[in-house]
Structure 1
């Protein structure tokens, strides 16, 4: 199930073993799977997407770094 959300705090993800990468503040689409949440966004002409563990997503929401749209 997809829902719209806003990144309003420091939300980071890691690609493989690489460094942490910040997701810029603004609107994202969050698609929840069994074990993870895929976040996708558009930053000017660049589209971004990443899957983060469901536990991390829930922590970001609880900490107020991701706000879910009603």
Structure 2
């Protein structure tokens, strides 16, 4: 199930073994499973998506970096 959220703090994800990548502040759609949360967003004509472990997603919500609607 998808829900709307807002990135309001520092939220990062990692692609493979690469460095952490910052997700820009703004609206996102969140789809969760037992293992991870997928955040997707639009930035003008560009679209982005990132999967993060569910524990990290819950931590970002608890810290206030992600606000659920």
> Structure 2 stretches of 5 or more lacking a match?
none
CA RMSD of aligned residues (A): 0.5
CA displacement 1:32-70 (0-9 Å, x = unmatched): 11210110000111100011000000000000000001x
Instruction: State the partner residue of 1:33.
Output: 33
Distance 2:58 2:46 in 1: 26
Matches within 5 A, 1:42-57: 42-57=42-57
> Structure 1 stretches of 5 or more lacking a match?
none
Runs of 4+ in 1 over 2 A off after TM superposition: none
Distance 1:8 1:50 in 2: 16
Distance 1:38 1:32 in 2: 6
TM-score (norm 2): 0.97
